[in-house]
Amino acid sequence: MNTSTTVQQRLLTPGPTAVPQPVLEEMARPIIHHRTAEFEAIFAEVGQRLAKLMQTRGPVLSIAGSGTTAFEAAQVSLARPGSTVVAVGGGKFGERWQDIFDQYEGTMTLKPLRIEVPWGEAVSPDTIEQVLREHEDVSLVAVVHSETSTATACDIRAVAAAVQSAAPGALLLVDGITSVGAMPIEQDAWGIDALVTGSQKALMLPPGLGYVGLGERALMRLEEVKAGPCYNLDLRRWLKAHAKNTVPFTPPVSLIRGQLVALKMIEQEGLENVHKRTAALARATRAAFTTLGLALCSHRPSDSVSGAYYPDEVDDKTFRSALRDEYGIHIAGGQDGRGASWSGRIFRLSHMGYVSAEDTLAALSAIETLLLKLAPGTIACKAGEAVAAAEAELVR
């Protein structure tokens, strides 16, 4: 970020997201050694508060790395060798989990099975149910709750019910990387066997930690299958250390300290209020996009991130550079994958974590002004109308 500018900088990308000042200050404290009672106490409290956030009675492992590290660890540790493993596509991240299953196909004799969904659409629970009924030996189903690349959320509660009824022996592994802490999700009550999230999205921390919540059935699977074809990524190793309030390898101590402060902030606001704030910002943003005449890139929009297609005459690089350099607004473009190529075609704005109505309105105002300058003929409204539509959503 440009620190020499007098324009306030707002990081509104769907990861990494802004980090609150009290968390930054906590992370600036002197490093303590991790094999100490002091660290173990902090670590234990972080684990308890994460479990509360994910609404699980099971352990929540904190793994150094990014969200992908934690998700791959869950995939490789929970898949039963020789079985069919299912991953739902529909975006960059779903496709990544498909790629990871493919990667272990040989070493674990897995039979990876892909469920494809058009980008911008959510997987239907009926489709999952049908596929699972056609395959008897499915051991693991990986589904993304909030697909950040397409700004799309699926009905993960209904997906969980479908998995339970069609394949009672299969575990459900959910990518909640942009849903936990942003949208309602209840791990145990909804029957999610393993739930993964990351530090740099809704949890108000820099990148560097991935979390895996393990339900009872996932814990049983880890006992039943003795070891994965990996070392650092084997969750059994992390689970064993977790029971002693620690981790197997040197942890990012500063991040863990910061996470404790961020989790307390979430609890202070109240998880439900956090969800309401996130949803309101998403509604406001969608109203502004629609008023501008932009098409949303999702048919079932997520509340943690919003995305819209550019008008034809707007160039992604020009637009986002101007937003950043002239207005201090940092947003994301689109991504490419097997199902679609959205880089250059869409832009995305995050509503997760440390973001207020003021931040969102500032971003929408800048987006509106710039689009009116760059594509005056195609924008459907006059100056101020998109922001007014957003504000109208916020006062409801």
Distance between CA atoms of residues 79 and 264, nearest Å: 34
Distance between CA atoms of residues 52 and 57, nearest Å: 8
Stretch that binds ligand PLP, among 45-53, 171-179, 307-315, 388-396 (CB under 6 A): 171-179
Q: How far is CA 147 from CA 29, 48, 154, in A?
A: 35, 27, 8
**Closer CB to ligand PLP, 152 or 254, in the complex:** 152
Q: Is 342 in the site for ligand PLP (CB under 6 A)?
A: no
**Closer CB to ligand PLP, 74 or 386, in the complex:** 74
Stretch that binds ligand PLP, among 60-68, 161-169, 245-253, 263-271 (CB under 6 A): 60-68
Going by DSSP bridges, is the β-strand pair 111-115/138-144 parallel, antiparallel, or unpaired? unpaired
**Closer CB to ligand PLP, 15 or 258, in the complex:** 15
- Provide the minimum distance between the beta carbon of 3 and ligand PLP in the complex, in angstroms, as a whole number: 24
Contacts of ligand PLP in 88-127 (CB under 6 A): 93
- Please identify which residue in 74, 143, 177, 239 interacts with ligand PLP, judged by CB under 6 A: 177
**Closer CB to ligand PLP, 128 or 387, in the complex:** 128
- Please identify which residue in 17, 55, 148, 302 interacts with ligand PLP, judged by CB under 6 A: 148
Stretch that binds ligand PLP, among 66-74, 231-239, 254-262, 333-341 (CB under 6 A): 66-74
Q: How far is CA 324 from CA 33, 174, 308, 369, in A?
A: 39, 33, 18, 13
SS3 146: strand
Stretch that binds ligand PLP, among 63-71, 133-141, 255-263, 344-352 (CB under 6 A): 63-71
Q: What is the CA 213 to chain-centroid distance, rounded?
A: 14
**Closer CB to ligand PLP, 15 or 47, in the complex:** 15
Q: Is 175 in the site for ligand PLP (CB under 6 A)?
A: yes
Stretch that binds ligand PLP, among 64-72, 153-161, 222-230, 269-277 (CB under 6 A): 64-72
Q: How far is CA 91 from CA 98, 182, 301, in A?
A: 11, 19, 13
| End-to-end Cα distance, the chain | 34
Q: Is 178 in the site for ligand PLP (CB under 6 A)?
A: yes
The answer to whether residues 331 and 363 touch, using CB atoms and an 8 Å cutoff, is yes
Contacts of ligand PLP in 188-247 (CB under 6 A): 198, 201, 207
- Please identify which residue in 110, 123, 140, 144 interacts with ligand PLP, judged by CB under 6 A: 144
392 burial class (0-12, 13-18, 19+ CB within 10 angstroms)? middle
- Per the listing, tokens 């809704």 go with 202
- Provide the minimum distance between the beta carbon of 177 and ligand PLP in the complex, in angstroms, as a whole number: 4
Distance between CA atoms of residues 60 and 52, nearest Å: 10
| Structure-token pair, residue 205 | 């921390």
Chain residues binding ligand PLP by CB under 6 A are: 15, 66-68, 93, 144, 146-148, 175, 177-178, 198, 201, 207
